[in-house]
Amino acid sequence: MKPAQRAQHLPAYFFATLNQRLAALQTEGADVIRLDAGSPDMPPAPFLLDILKGSTDDPTKHNYGGYAGQPHLRRAIAHYYRQRFDVQLADDELVPLIGSKEGVVNLHLAWLDPGDLSLVPDPGYPSYYFAPMLAGGRPERFDLLPERGWLPNLSAIPVKTARPARLLWLNYPNNPTGATATLDFFAEAVDFCRQYDLLLCHDAPYTDVTFDGCTAPSVLQVPGAKEVAIEFNSLSKTYNMAGWRVGMAVGNPVAIKALATVKTQIDSGIAKPIQDMAAAALTGDQNWLVERNAVYQQRRDLCLTTLKKLGLKANPPQGALYVWFRTPPGYTSLDFHHLLLEKAHLSVTPGHIFGKNGEGWIRLSIATKTERLKEALTRLEHTLLLTR
């Protein structure tokens, strides 16, 4: 019995391995506070749960949800992009997803032939790097650096690398850094991809999780972007629906058709009650998101205050669910992760899993109850004081 080489060469997903250690600590009676994953701790708005519950009582809602999604969900996706970004989507420019992660990975199967190159940010979400390998392609990293506000210098990508590449990945508001991008930057990225005949893939699940009055744009707001760009979005973070697994890909119709074709061989669509809840989220009252983001901003500020007190350099985020901060002197990111986990029973994400430029940084999630976050920050402070 021998697995395929792609399975043998693919490293274990960090969070899958971490979960095993967390389970062991909890079996020993440890009270572990998790600040590692970006899974919202608050539920969806009550009116969305009411729609979900009502839909599950409908006996017609338990068959397949349809490869292309139900018509009302497709209309809701187009409505959201029209209302939020003033972007018009034709019917062949969108496809619902079972969470944006599956779309991110499946696009590589739809767009890369064996040996094809995908340009991925460093630091960046690990799936951007490993998904090309699943498709038989090759990832090539480009730098995101703090001195540029974690935006890439696209002109620094060598011509010999850009010319044969097929994909370029961007993600703003950014995971793990919390950085945001402007429309001017997206226009530059669109021009770059047009120049090299690249498909620009923008992963945008944190677009509606922003702070300090920041409004994050869509890459599709750039005139002509749909000629070269596809954007992935998700209801996981925006509407606190991470476990329900629903998202969307929108943009270039050729890429959308290719992705949708692959999906017909892999899944059978989203459950109808979840589609009903998702459509209501995209078209319903959005005011509750303001209050929700205010809670996240309060938590972010608690973290920044503590980190400043401890002399740890932090990257103040304008979006996403994370505070990105430097490790103390003398620690690698994995060393500091282990210290906090074993001594303080506090779980954070070591920056090295996001690429070489993530080494020396820690990602701390603010998606946990405020009182638990305060306790976590107290543990962080005590642990550092004991090691100095």
CATH of the domain at 172: 3.40.640.10
199 and 175 share one domain = yes
Cβ atoms of 178 and 213 closer than 8 Å: no
For residues 279 and 292, state if they share a domain.
no
- 8 falls in which pLDDT band (50, 70, 90)? confident
Percent of all residues in the chain with a pLDDT value above 70, rounded to a whole number = 100
Confirm whether 55 is domain-assigned.
Answer: no
Residue 16 banded pLDDT, cuts 50, 70, 90: confident
- What is the reported pTM? 0.95
- Taking the C-alpha atoms of residue 271 and residue 245, their distance in angstroms, rounded to an integer, is 10
pLDDT band per the 50, 70, 90 thresholds, residue 204: very high
What is the helix (H) or strand (E) element at residue 371, kind and residue range? helix 370-387
Q: In which domain, by residue range, is 185 found?
A: 60-283
Q: Span 132-140, mean pLDDT? A: 95
- Strand 199-203: give its sheet, edge to edge: 94-97, 247-251, 229-234, 199-203, 165-170, 117-122, 138-143
User: 3-state DSSP call for residue 168?
Assistant: strand
pLDDT at 385: 86
What's the pLDDT at 234?
Answer: 97
Encode pLDDT of 263-314 as tens digits.
999 999 999 999 999 999 999 999 999 999 999 999 999 999 999 999 999 9
Is residue 231 within 8 Å of residue 204, measured between CB atoms? yes
Q: Is residue 323 part of a domain?
A: yes
Q: 363 in a domain, yes or no?
A: yes
Question: How many domains, in total, are found in the chain?
Answer: 2
Tens-place pLDDT, residues 44-76: 999 999 999 999 999 999 999 999 999 999 999
Residue 29 resides in a domain: yes
Q: Examine the pLDDT at 18 and tell me if it is beyond 90.
A: no
